[in-house]
Amino acid sequence: MLEVPYANAVGSLMYAMVCTRPDLAYSVSLVSKFMENLGKTHQQALKWILRYIKGSIGKSLIYGEAEGYQEITTVIEGFVDFDFGGCLDTRKSLTGYVFTAFGTEISWKAGL
pLDDT, one tens digit per residue, over 26-61 is 888 888 888 877 788 888 888 999 999 898 888 766
| DSSP assignment of 14-57 | HHHHHHT-GGGHHHHHHHHTTSSS--HHHHHHHHHHHHHHHHTT
User: CA 4 to CA 108: how far, in whole Å?
Assistant: 29
Angle at Cα 51 formed by Cα 96 and Cα 108, nearest 5°?
20
pLDDT of amino acid 64: 60
pLDDT above 80: residue 66: no
Q: How confident is the model at residue 67 (pLDDT cuts 50, 70, 90)?
A: low
User: CA 82 to CA 96: how far, in whole Å?
Assistant: 6
Q: Give the SS3 label for residue 60.
A: coil
Cα dihedral sign, 87-25-66-55 = negative
